[in-house]
Structure formats: C-alpha cells, structure tokens
C-alpha cells in the first residue's frame, strides 16, 4: 500500500517556481540543483520511492541543515514579546533559555561552546519548519503575519484528534521563495549524480556520500557520520559535532550531513496523517534511514530529532549579466568583420 501511495503521489511541479519572486541568499551556503528531466530513482532494492526523484526545473537547496545560529535568530525574533513562547525548545541545539532575562517574553542565548552557532538543530516540528520558511519568504520581518503565511498558510494547520487526519496545506504556495523540500527535490539533491555513469550520464547512489555502502559511524577523522555513534567521553557529545565537520562525505551536489545531525523534513505526506522525513540523526538511530529507498514518517506536530534543510528558487541573473550575454554575439560579429 505504501508503495502505491508513493507512486501515485504528485511529483514536483515546474509551475511551483513559475511565479516565485527573487530570493536573497541570507547566510546560507546554496547548491543549485540542475540536470532537469533526470531519470527517476529505481527504488534501490526496496521498491519504496521507485519512480520518484524527477525534478524538471532548477532549484536551490542549502548545503547544510539549519544551524543553531540561524534558528536562534528566528526564535528570538518572536519569543521576546508579550504572550510567551511561540516555539518549543529543540531537544538538541546550541542555545538555552536565558535565566537572567526578565521579559517581555523569553530570550534564548548561546551555550558556552565552541562553534555553538554551527551545531545542528534537532527537535523542530514540521509546522515550525513551515513557519521558518514563511519568515524567510517575508524578508525576516518581525511582524506576526510574517510566520503565518508566505510559503504555507498556517491557518490550515489542524489535526482531528480522533482520526489523526491533518488539514495542513500539503505543498508550498506557487510564489514561495523558500520552502520545505518536496520528496523529489530532497531525493535528487541527496542521491542523484548527473555524472554517476560517466560525464553527462546521470544515475543514483544509495547513500548520500556518493557511494552504495552505509557510512561508518564515528567522530570526524575516524568515522563518516554522527549517526549510530554515541560519544564515550561526553554525554550527548555526538550532538556537539558542528555541521560541516565531514567535508569528504558530501552528496554529488555538495550537500553535507545528510547522515547525522538532525533528520530532515520533507513536504511528502502519508494519507494526510504524517509527513516523511529523510536521513538519519546523531546518536542512536538506524543507518538504514540514509538509504535512498528507506521511508520514515512523523506527525507534523511532533519534533523528535527532526530538523530542516531549506529549499529556494534560483535567483535570476542580474541585468548586467544579461546585458553582457545579449551583447556578446554582436561584439563577436564586429570583431570578425573587422578581421576580414
């Protein structure tokens, strides 16, 4: 049944980007995912996600998951006001509630740790991730409306307590500048290689570091991922490994920490009850989640060890670049005429 649902699911639509406005870079490291009309994933032996992963347009996706520094900016923008906390504290990240702050609201401050701002953020619900995308879409405005709509309409966020069916908007608005990646976008960025079988001959890897073998757990310099590894010397020390600490374990497009850190939300849903998440998280987890064909879901209001990798439109070339490209043939023709 799950295979049938996934095969019948709507793939990412080019129209989703047709009306999007230019998007700033902010402080993200972006990978542009091209090779449009790529071949679909064959399921990798499991059959799940077979036929998925085709994306017929260019898009951007962050090379790193949302960092503690990025989430702190977001959380404090809406926590330091009357009315209390809007966002729950992640299970693991690089900040904590300031016990010396007397209001209004609450304030988060960095932990006294090196690289605190680059620590992964684990414990974000799908709905909180959607509000983060709204905030980016609305130019990081501090007004309440900036998290209520933009990429996703939060007024749709509700769950029937009896059936557990949710009414949340399923996919982003057509003009969204930033969003939670669709399953197809995430799979392609994590596992598809445009040169898998030679120059210009694309194909799929089963694991997110351009291999067909599971990654080796362990700290940087010894292992390849914080997934399925418990630091023997420091309690929860596996969560103190900053994002980007395994630079040799990148996806073909340059994405890091797909294995380890936090697991990552996607827009894909299962019968309006749960959302798919991808990749493994640090600590006790299953490395099978790193396999391209392994499905896992959570309810959209749950947090567990979930985080976010943001997707975005590709900015259009600047006017000056377009002018240079447009004039280039004229210049070449003039030079050729002069030479003759």
Q: Kindly list the averaged pLDDT for each block of 10 residues, start to end, along the chain of length 340.
A: 53 48 91 96 91 98 98 95 82 96 94 97 98 98 97 98 96 98 98 97 97 97 97 96 98 98 98 96 91 95 96 76 39 36
Q: What is the pLDDT of residue 29?
A: 98
Q: State the CB neighbour count (10 A cutoff) for residue 99.
A: 7
CB 16 within 8 A of CB 175: no
Q: How far apart are CA 277 and CA 264, in angstroms?
A: 5
Q: How far apart are CA 269 and CA 271, in angstroms?
A: 6
Helix (H, G, I), strand (E, B) or coil at 68: helix
Q: What is the pLDDT of residue 3?
A: 55
Q: State the CB neighbour count (10 A cutoff) for residue 235.
A: 9
**How much is the CA Rg of the chain, to the nearest whole Å?**
21
Q: How far apart are CA 77 and CA 31, in angstroms?
A: 27
Q: What is the pLDDT of residue 201?
A: 96
Give the rounded distance of the alpha carbon of 308 from its chain centre.
5
Q: What is the pLDDT of residue 85?
A: 72
Which residues, including other chains, have CB under 8 Å from residue 92's CB and lie 6 or more apart?
Answer: 119, 120, 121, 122, 123, 236, 239, 262, 282, 305
Model pTM? 0.90
- Segment (H or E) for 178: strand 178-179
Q: Which domains does the chain have, with CATH numbers?
A: 2-331 (3.90.1580)
Q: What is the pLDDT of residue 17?
A: 54
Which residues, including other chains, have CB under 8 Å from residue 34's CB and lie 6 or more apart?
Answer: 58, 194
Helix axis angle for 68-79 and 126-137, nearest 10°, is 80
Q: What is the pLDDT of residue 255?
A: 98
């Amino acid at each position: 049944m799950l295979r049938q649902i996934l095969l019948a699911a709507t793939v990412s639509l080019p129209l989703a980007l047709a009306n999007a406005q230019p998007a700033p870079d902010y402080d993200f490291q972006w990978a542009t995912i091209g090779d449009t009309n790529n071949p679909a994933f064959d399921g990798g032996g499991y059959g799940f996600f077979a036929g998925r992963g085709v994306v017929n347009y260019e898009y951007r996706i962050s090379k790193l998951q949302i960092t503690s520094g990025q989430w702190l900016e977001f959380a404090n923008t809406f926590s330091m006001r009357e009315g209390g906390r809007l966002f729950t504290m992640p299970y693991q990240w690089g900040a904590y509630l300031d016990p010396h702050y007397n209001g209004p609201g609450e304030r988060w401050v960095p932990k006294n740790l090196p690289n605190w701002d680059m620590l992964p953020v684990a414990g974000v619900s799908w709905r909180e991730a959607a509000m983060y995308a709204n905030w980016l879409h609305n130019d990081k405005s501090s007004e309440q409306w900036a998290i209520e709509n933009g990429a996703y309409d939060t007024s749709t966020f509700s769950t029937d307590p009896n059936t557990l069916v949710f009414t949340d908007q399923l996919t982003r608005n057509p003009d969204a500048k930033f969003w939670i990646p669709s399953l197809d976008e995430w799979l392609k960025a994590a596992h598809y290689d445009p040169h898998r079988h030679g120059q210009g001959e694309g194909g799929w890897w089963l694991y997110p570091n351009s291999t067909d073998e599971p990654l080796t757990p362990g700290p940087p310099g010894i292992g390849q991922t914080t997934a399925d590894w418990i630091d023997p010397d420091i309690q929860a020390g596996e969560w103190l490994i900053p994002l980007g600490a395994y630079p040799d374990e990148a996806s073909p497009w340059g994405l890091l920490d797909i294995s380890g850190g936090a697991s990552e939300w996607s827009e894909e849903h299962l019968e309006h009850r749960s959302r798919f998440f991808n990749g493994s998280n640090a600590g006790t987890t299953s490395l099978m989640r790193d396999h391209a064909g392994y499905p896992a879901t959570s309810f959209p209001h749950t947090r567990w060890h979930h985080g976010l990798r943001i997707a975005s439109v590709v900015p259009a070339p600047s006017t000056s670049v377009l002018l240079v490209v447009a004039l280039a043939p004229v210049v070449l023709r003039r030079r050729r005429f002069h030479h003759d």
